[in-house]
């Protein structure tokens, strides 16, 4: 609620200032964009770890430090080629890069012990946008687009168990994926000083089926022996996004923007090879749980505020 209040307060402040509004692009334009993100991120790997550890009768708490600032977010450009054919104003092509990093911490509980766990996490994804701008009226624009999204995750965890058994463990997980998505943007000029906009990802995968790779490797050394878990296979995801905000021009060609973002990427491994060893013995229950935790459908959830700037270069 506090974030929504701050967002509305900033929007009202922008509308009250005597500055120019964001307008449509004029002629052939290269729009350079960059900003940062303040909000929360929950990875699908959190749930996969949760289910993977149940086989050890170990219960993981929710991961902490999911909220933070991500400095490299929505960095890139859009090139607009003027067409001016009826309501078709231009066609555009763009590339945008997003980077999120988190240092997660959490505890786990097992029958006679406490697990102290931490992990370094990175999510990277890039969007190639191809679309057109439709202008039904002078102050209203619709931007249908096709988005080619490429994403990757890395997680490197270190685990320490205090109790019986005491253990030390390391965990490495990586995922990659590419998917084709359909989306649409909407822009509405309120007056000479402000423009509201919204952006949606509506459907995917489309044209390009989602494909990628999933890898998980974990080992533990304890006073009770040694264990090793492994899973490797395909990885698929699709995306849903809702974004709305406002932008203003502070000097000619230079705009500031602020938006609320909520995005889901539903992901799972596909046909992985999985196995679990407890000492020299293959654990059938552990192997099944590695397979289940990898193939379960879980979400990457991103929610928060994005703010930054754009600059137009007329070509």
Going from the C-alpha of 238 to that of each of 130, 209, 235, the distances in angstroms are: 18, 9, 11
Q: What is the pLDDT of residue 45?
A: 97
Q: Name which of 206, 150, 151 is nearest 180 in CA terms.
A: 206
Going from the C-alpha of 117 to that of each of 103, 111, 161, 276, 293, the distances in angstroms are: 11, 17, 8, 21, 19
Percent over 70 (pLDDT), the chain: 92
What is the Cα–Cα distance from 258 to 11, expressed in whole angstroms?
Answer: 8
Above 80 in pLDDT, residue 105? yes
What is the Cα–Cα distance from 226 to 218, expressed in whole angstroms?
Answer: 11
Q: Is the peptide bond before 165 cis (omega within 30 degrees of 0)?
A: yes
Above 70 in pLDDT, residue 2? no
Q: What is the pLDDT of residue 100?
A: 97
Q: What is the pLDDT of residue 197?
A: 95
Give 12-51 pLDDT, tens digit per residue. 333 333 333 334 688 899 999 999 999 999 999 999 999 9
Confidence (pTM): 0.88
What is the Cα–Cα distance from 170 to 260, expressed in whole angstroms?
Answer: 36
Q: Name which of 172, 160, 280, 274 is nearest 226 in CA terms.
A: 280
Q: DSSP string spanning 162-219?
A: EESS-EEEEEEEEEEEEEEEEEEEEEEE-SSS-EEEEEEEEE-S-SS--EEEEEEEEE
Contacts of 44 (CB under 8 A, 6+ apart): 265, 267, 268, 298, 299, 300
Query: Which residue is listed with tokens 């990802």?
Result: 201
> Using 50, 70 and 90 to split pLDDT, how confident is the model at 260?
very high
Give 199-230 pLDDT, tens digit per residue. 999 888 888 889 999 999 999 999 989 999 99
- Contact (CB, 8 A) for 312 and 27: no
3-state secondary structure of 288: helix
> Using 50, 70 and 90 to split pLDDT, how confident is the model at 4?
very low
- Contact (CB, 8 A) for 266 and 237: yes
């Amino acid at each position: 609620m506090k974030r929504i209040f701050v967002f509305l307060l900033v929007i009202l402040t922008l509308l009250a200032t005597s500055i120019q509004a964001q307008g449509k692009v004029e002629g052939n334009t290269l729009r350079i964009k960059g900003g940062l993100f303040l909000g929360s991120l929950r990875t699908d790997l959190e749930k996969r770890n949760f289910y993977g550890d149940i086989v050890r009768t170990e219960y993981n708490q929710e991961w902490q430090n999911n909220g933070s600032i991500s400095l490299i977010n929505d960095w890139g450009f859009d090139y607009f080629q003027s067409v001016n054919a009826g309501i078709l104003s231009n066609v555009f092509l763009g590339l945008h890069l997003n980077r999120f990093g988190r240092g997660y911490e959490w505890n786990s509980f097992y029958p006679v012990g406490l697990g102290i766990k931490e992990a370094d996490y990175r999510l990277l994804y890039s969007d190639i946008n191809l679309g057109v701008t439709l202008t039904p009226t002078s102050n209203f624009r619709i931007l249908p687009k096709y988005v080619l999204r490429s994403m990757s995750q890395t997680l490197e965890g270190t685990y320490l168990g205090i109790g019986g058994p005491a253990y030390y463990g390391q965990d490495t997980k990586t995922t990659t994926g590419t998917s084709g998505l359909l989306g649409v943007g909407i822009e509405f000029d309120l007056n000479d000083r402000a423009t509201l906009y919204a952006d949606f990802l509506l459907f995917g995968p489309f044209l390009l089926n989602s494909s990628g790779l999933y890898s998980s490797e974990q080992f533990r050394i304890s006073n009770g022996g040694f264990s090793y878990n492994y899973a490797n296979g395909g990885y698929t995801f699709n995306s849903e996004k809702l974004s709305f905000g406002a932008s203003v021009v502070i000097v000619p060609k230079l705009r500031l923007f602020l938006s609320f973002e909520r995005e889901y990427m539903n992901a799972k491994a596909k046909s992985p090879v999985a196995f679990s060893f407890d000492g020299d013995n293959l654990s059938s229950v552990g192997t099944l749980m590695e397979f289940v935790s990898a193939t379960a459908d879980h979400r990457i959830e991103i929610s928060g505020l994005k703010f930054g700037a754009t600059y137009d270069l007329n070509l």
